Amino acid sequence: MKCKINRNAAKVLHNMLNTDEAKGKMVRVYITHMHGDHAHYEMKLDTPAAHDEIVKTDKDIDILLDSREEFLDGVWIKYFYVPEEGFEITNPSKEPNGHHHHQ
């Protein structure tokens, strides 16, 4: 499985992972809602479970993805400061036209 993270997201996630509440936990991306041809994604701090794959990124952050969910393979985690500060998680390899955005 694959996962990409932009530089802003890596910075924010590094800060999240360096808190006391994150001790022993990793970042999990999961699907909150499916629409047939695309999915909505969220993140949380979690520990690995039976069907998880720990995906190494080029930003030194490991991401937990459930290997049973094909729509998680290829997710891209981005963080933007403008126009609104926040994360955006998409999967260009699975979504029509590669640009269906949700936060």
pLDDT of residue 3: 97
* 73-84 mean pLDDT: 95
Q: Is the pLDDT of residue 56 over 50?
A: yes
pLDDT tens-digit readout, 2-24? 999 999 999 999 999 999 999 99
pLDDT mean over 74-103: 82
Mapping DSSP to helix (H, G, I), strand (E, B) and coil, where does residue 2 land?
coil
The Cα 18–Cα 84 span in angstroms is 24
Could you give the domains of the chain?
4-90 (2.60.300.12)
pLDDT digits (tens, 9 = 90+) for 35-53: 878 899 999 999 999 999 9
Rounded to 5°, angle at Cα 75 from 72 and 81: 140
| Measured distance CA(63)–CA(48) in Å, rounded | 10
CA distance 15 to 89: 18
Q: Check pLDDT > 60 for residue 30.
A: yes
Q: Which amino acid is at 65?
A: L
Over the chain, what is the mean pLDDT? 91
Task: Say what the pLDDT of residue 35 is.
Answer: 82
CA dist list (Å): 103 to 6, 24, 40, 68, 87: 15, 26, 8, 23, 6
